[in-house]
Amino acid sequence: MNEAISLLPGMPSDDGTEPVFREPWEAHAFALAVSLHQRGLFTWPEWAKALARQIGAAQAAGDADLGDTYYRHWLAALESLVADKGASSAAELERYRHAWDRAADRTPHGRAIELGSQDFG
């Protein structure tokens, strides 16, 4: 994993060698990107380029780049690569994003969020 981290300067890390996560979803997004790379959906250079593009766009839009939005850019880069590579469409990703939001809204605090057919309404 250290090879991948060296390609992603600015990524929050403990001592420059291991990523740190502020929220569980950040770890999930990280793991998903690594898994999709390992399955051959994209190369690390493609990934680094997509992430740099997202960060650059965010900075141009006024993101102060304090590190607290890093994984939001990570997720946006991942979604764009998944759509660009045809593994899903932007519309399908949006549909699922809204469904997960609905599922989270109806789930009591402390309970696991379960996505159900009612969330796709």
Domain locations in the chain as residue ranges: 23-108
Q: How confident is the model at residue 21 (pLDDT cuts 50, 70, 90)?
A: confident
Contact assessment for residue 50 and residue 80, using Cβ atoms and an 8 Å cutoff: yes
Q: Which residue has the higher pLDDT, 99 or 10?
A: 99
Contact assessment for residue 96 and residue 117, using Cβ atoms and an 8 Å cutoff: no
Model confidence at 10: pLDDT above 80? no
Alpha-carbon distance values, 80 to 30, 87, 101 (Å): 15, 10, 19
State the average pLDDT over residues 44-70: 92
Total-model pTM? 0.74
- The pLDDT tens digits for 45-55 are 999 999 999 99
